[in-house]
């Protein structure tokens, strides 16, 4: 079955909100504004519930926040109305988020502004609150999983793939990461094979750092050491992928496509493999979570933190890159 082609953005440098392919306003700006308004509504509804919780006697607010309304609810009318409004606000927030993540921009300016917006932390710029932790895109993986997974490929498909012949450092960074994934998979496979061959008494080193008095079989020490090195190289390569600004539009598009792929897929593994079970998310999603910290042998915390920081800065970096690449002469 043929797939519907994604609309392409305007190729005009410095194209603004009214410079889309159809000479109409870019719909992504309205989608961003809808999400911004939905978040304001969500926060206002939540604040109202918090106020009412303090004012309403405990016997009259059995219906807990975030839970479904009980069939025999006899709470105070104000508490029922506030909870109902809060659930409606959550529903609108999720709908607005999904719409924003599935609306292809029609201008480069729209792409850049959308990436900047999704790269913001949830507590900004609408309210001073500690309720959220992480960027809007990172948190979207918990709220509407399908839309975030399809988002970056959709954006990549809208960008003009112009062959410039220019070298782009992002391609070398992606190839390094691809090789690191394959190397990690090979090290994991070898460790699994040795686990079956070496008696348990000779492979006590299982996770975390190597014990000072380790007397395991030399082969087991070697394979664990190799696995640590493989995971360190994998996270260093991932940090490079997420922090190397592309120098071409084609590089931007390929990079967005790349980080939206599954790690097991890039490593050449099967979806039912142990690798897929351990790191099932996309490359960018796993970077947000620092998932390699949960590997058979853990990485140093500083390396994991570097990857998470690069993931948080990734979308704003791409937005800045796009603006720079499409800027007219000064």
Q: 33 with 180, same domain?
A: no
Q: 213 with 100, same domain?
A: no
Q: 139 with 208, same domain?
A: no
What's the pLDDT at 228? 86
Asked whether residue 6 is assigned to any structural domain, the reply reads no
What is d(CA 258, CA 266) in angstroms, rounded to the nearest whole number?
9
Q: 253 with 133, same domain?
A: no
Count of domains observed in the chain: 2
What's the pLDDT at 18? 34
What's the pLDDT at 11? 46
Asked whether residue 215 is assigned to any structural domain, the reply reads yes
Domain closes at, from 103, 130, 158: 158
Q: 113 with 233, same domain?
A: no
Asked whether residue 4 is assigned to any structural domain, the reply reads no
CB 185 within 8 A of CB 267: yes
What's the pTM value of the predicted model, to 2 decimals?
A: 0.78
Domain closes at, from 158, 181, 197: 158
What is d(CA 115, CA 119) in angstroms, rounded to the nearest whole number?
6
Q: 173 with 146, same domain?
A: no
Domain holding 110, by residue range, is 27-158
Asked whether residue 8 is assigned to any structural domain, the reply reads no
What's the pLDDT at 2? 38
What is d(CA 223, CA 193) in angstroms, rounded to the nearest whole number?
10
What's the pLDDT at 78? 84
Q: 249 with 154, same domain?
A: no
What's the pLDDT at 129? 44
Q: 192 with 70, same domain?
A: no
CB 276 within 8 A of CB 270: yes
Q: 65 with 95, same domain?
A: yes
Which residues is 135 bridged to in the sheet?
121
What is d(CA 34, CA 39) in angstroms, rounded to the nearest whole number?
9
Asked whether residue 220 is assigned to any structural domain, the reply reads yes
Residues of the chain below pLDDT 50: 1-7, 10-22, 124-131, 330
Asked whether residue 13 is assigned to any structural domain, the reply reads no
Cα 166 from chain centre = 29
Q: 226 with 113, same domain?
A: no
What's the pLDDT at 16? 38
What is d(CA 205, CA 230) in angstroms, rounded to the nearest whole number?
17
Q: 299 with 224, same domain?
A: yes
CB 68 within 8 A of CB 120: no
What's the pLDDT at 87? 87
Q: Dihedral of the CA atoms 302, 306, 309, 310 (nearest 10)?
A: -170
What's the pLDDT at 278? 64
Asked whether residue 2 is assigned to any structural domain, the reply reads no
What's the pLDDT at 300? 63
Q: 81 with 59, same domain?
A: yes
């Amino acid at each position: 079955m043929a797939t519907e082609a994604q609309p392409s953005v305007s190729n005009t440098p410095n194209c603004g909100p009214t410079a889309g392919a159809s000479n109409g306003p870019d719909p992504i700006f309205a989608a961003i504004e809808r999400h911004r308004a939905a978040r304001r509504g969500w926060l206002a509804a939540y604040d109202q519930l918090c106020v009412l919780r303090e004012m309403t006697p405990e016997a009259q607010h059995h219906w807990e926040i975030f839970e479904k309304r009980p069939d025999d609810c006899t709470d105070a009318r104000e508490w029922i109305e506030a909870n109902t409004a809060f659930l409606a606000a959550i529903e609108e927030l999720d709908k607005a988020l999904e719409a924003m993540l599935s609306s292809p921009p029609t201008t480069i300016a729209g792409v850049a502004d959308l990436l900047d917006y999704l790269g913001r932390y949830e507590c900004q710029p609408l309210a001073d609150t500690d309720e959220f932790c992480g960027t809007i895109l990172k948190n979207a993986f918990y709220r509407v999983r399908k839309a975030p997974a399809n988002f970056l490929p959709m954006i990549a498909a809208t960008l003009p793939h112009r062959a410039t012949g220019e070298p782009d450092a992002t391609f070398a960074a992606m190839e390094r990461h691809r090789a690191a994934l394959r190397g990690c998979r090979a090290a994991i496979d070898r460790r699994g094979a040795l686990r079956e061959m070496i008696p348990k008494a000779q492979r006590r080193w299982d996770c975390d750092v190597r014990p000072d008095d380790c007397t395991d079989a030399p082969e087991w020490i070697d394979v664990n050491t190799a696995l640590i090195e493989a995971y360190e190289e994998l996270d260093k390569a991932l940090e490079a992928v997420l922090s190397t600004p592309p120098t071409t539009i084609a590089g931007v598009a390929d990079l967005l496509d790349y980080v939206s792929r599954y790690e097991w897929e890039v490593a050449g593994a099967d979806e039912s493999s142990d690798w897929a079970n351990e790191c099932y998310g996309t490359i960018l999603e796993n970077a947000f979570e620092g998932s390699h910290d949960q590997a058979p042998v853990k990485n140093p915390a500083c390396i994991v933190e570097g990857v998470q920081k690069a993931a948080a800065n990734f979308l704003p970096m791409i937005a800045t890159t796009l603006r720079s690449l499409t800027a007219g002469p000064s």
